[in-house]
Amino acid sequence: MMSELKPYDLTGKRVWVAGHRGMVGGAVVRRLQSEGCTVLTAGRNTLDLTRQAPVEEWVAVNKPDAVVVAAAKVGGIMANNSYPADFLYDNLMIETNIIQASFRNNVEKLLFLGSSCIYPKLAPQPMTEDALLTGPLEPTNEWYAIAKIAGIKLCQAYRKQHGCDYISAMPTNLYGIGDNFHPQGSHVLPALMARLHDAKRDKLNEVTIWGTGKPLREFLYVDDLADGLVFLLKNYSGYDHVNIGTGQEVSIRTLAEQVAATVGWQGRFAFDATKPDGSPRKLMDNSKLAKLGWTAKTSLAEGLRLTYEWFLEEGAKGGLRGI
Ligand SMILES: NC(=O)C1=CN([C@@H]2O[C@H](COP(=O)(O)OP(=O)(O)OC[C@H]3O[C@@H](n4cnc5c(N)ncnc54)[C@H](OP(=O)(O)O)[C@@H]3O)[C@@H](O)[C@H]2O)C=CC1
Ligand SMILES: C[C@H]1O[C@H](OP(=O)(O)OP(=O)(O)OC[C@H]2O[C@@H](n3cnc4c(=O)[nH]c(N)nc43)[C@H](O)[C@@H]2O)[C@@H](O)[C@@H](O)C1=O
């Protein structure tokens, strides 16, 4: 473990945050403001990351010292299940293009982001890093998971063959400011926040939740994630990926009740069993990161409050995102 710790000073470095307009990329940009580095960004309108030649050219011209790969095709259970080709192709291309261009242009440090869905559907809980590739994946997101596993392996391969300091972090389910609130495409937490907000406004007595409400999920607030990622960037230099979560889990029903309390809606829930539950449980074992020296700070109640505050502000401005 100790040999995996190696300081990397961000002061004066040029750090490219790929995917800076997204929830995670935006939080990483905010967190990097206090690191004395120059943050580089490129919007999708000027740089489509699925295209190899423009990515190579952009990296050659802009010469980042460090890269955070927070760009990806991302969505909730329904989006993953409905667009398997997009989730596999886009994610393979984005990560391959960025990692190869970084190698060619001597990037010193690269942080790749995967997801807890890389682990087998029925992995022992809480899931340790070594559960990777020990069993079949959850079918609703196996396409995305395969791409993310390939990303971990690319970082390991470049480290093994070329000595590149490329590391990977596996976040649990995330939420927070900058999230996607689309009714079909989003993850459960923003979907329920938007639905319950509308239910309160429209004075509805009943709201429908997908699936049984029984699956268990772990939710990490995105600014905590960004802090953990910067911690890894500055301190971690290991071959193996690192889990990042809170160690706390809730059922989807309990989450819905907590979101209802945050939004101020009172009513009953109905459950739509025609929608998939996905993985029954996805709790990360975060002990590796804790031993390295980092743990999450924001409670779910506080994170929900901050997210709803932002949702109300952005909604009023018409700035909410949705795919
Ligand atoms: N959200 C979650 O619950 C979890 C997320 N993660 C991982 O965290 C990372 C960030 O996710 P998150 O911030 O939630 O996702 P978002 O959808 O909020 O952000 C993704 C970003 O990637 C950009 N992007 C996607 N495709 C392209 C492309 N072809 N060219 C250029 N830019 C592109 C998007 O650009 P644009 O703004 O133009 O659409 C967006 O800025 C991903 O790797 C994801 O797998 C891991 C675990 C859980
Ligand atoms: C982060 C992770 O996110 C995805 O996996 P997931 O954890 O299953 O994500 P989810 O947030 O969409 O759903 C969680 C649970 O919640 C239930 N649920 C209820 N009602 C709504 C609802 O209204 N919307 C959604 N999306 N889910 C709902 C839903 O049926 C499921 O049981 C991966 O595909 C992959 O992208 C990945 O890595």
What is the DSSP track for 146-198? HHHHHHHHHHHHHHHHH--EEEEEEE-EEESTT-B--TTTS-HHHHHHHHHHH
Residue-level pLDDT at 102: 98
Residue-level pLDDT at 317: 84
Residue 242 within a domain: yes
Residue 267 within a domain: no
pLDDT band at 290 (very low <50, low <70, confident <90, very high): very high
Residue 195 within a domain: no
Average pLDDT over residues 46-57: 98
Residue-level pLDDT at 318: 84
CATH number, domain of 58, equals 3.40.50.720
User: What domain count does the chain have?
Assistant: 1
Residue-level pLDDT at 20: 98
Distance CA 136, CA 155 (A): 22
Ligand 2 nearest atom to the CA of residue 173, by list position: 1
CB neighbour list of residue 195: distance below 8 Å, 6 or more residues apart? 183, 207
Active site residue 166: no
Q: Is the CB of 244 under 6 A from ligand 2?
A: no
Residue-level pLDDT at 274: 96
- β-strand partners of 76: none
Q: What is the pTM of this model?
A: 0.98
Percent of the chain with pLDDT over 70: 99
Residue 314 within a domain: no
Q: Tell me: cis bond preceding 126? Omega within 30 of 0 counts.
A: yes
Q: Over the chain, what is the mean pLDDT?
A: 97
Q: Is the CB of 215 under 6 A from ligand 2?
A: yes
Cα-to-centroid distance, 71 and ligand 1 (Å): 4
Which of 53, 28, 154 has its CA nearest to residue 99?
A: 154
C-alpha 184, offset from chain centre = 18
Query: Can you give the length of the chain in residues?
Result: 323
Residue 192 vs residues 52, 160, 174, 182, 314: alpha-carbon distances, Å: 37, 43, 14, 10, 17
Cα-to-centroid distance, 176 and ligand 2 (Å): 15
Ligand 1 pocket, residues with Cβ under 6 angstroms = 19, 21-25, 44, 48-50, 70-74, 90, 94, 113, 115, 171, 173-174, 180, 187
Q: What is the pLDDT of residues 215-271, one digit of tens each?
A: 999 999 999 999 999 999 999 999 999 999 999 999 999 999 999 999 999 999 999
Cα-to-centroid distance, 104 and ligand 1 (Å): 24
CB neighbour list of residue 201: distance below 8 Å, 6 or more residues apart? none
Average pLDDT over residues 140-144: 97
Which of 44, 48, 50, 74 is the pocket-test mutation for ligand 1 (most atoms within 8 Å of CB)?
A: 74
Query: What number is the ipTM of this complex?
Result: 0.99
Residue-level pLDDT at 231: 98
Residue 289 belongs to domain spanning: 2-174+219-247+282-297
pLDDT band at 195 (very low <50, low <70, confident <90, very high): very high
Residue 156 vs residues 40, 71, 105, 150, 168: alpha-carbon distances, Å: 25, 19, 18, 10, 9
Residue 57 within a domain: yes
Residue 323 within a domain: no
Cα-to-centroid distance, 70 and ligand 1 (Å): 6
Q: Is the pLDDT of residue 16 over 60?
A: yes
Residue 184 within a domain: no
Residue 232 within a domain: yes
Q: Which two tokens stand for residue 245?
A: 């979560």
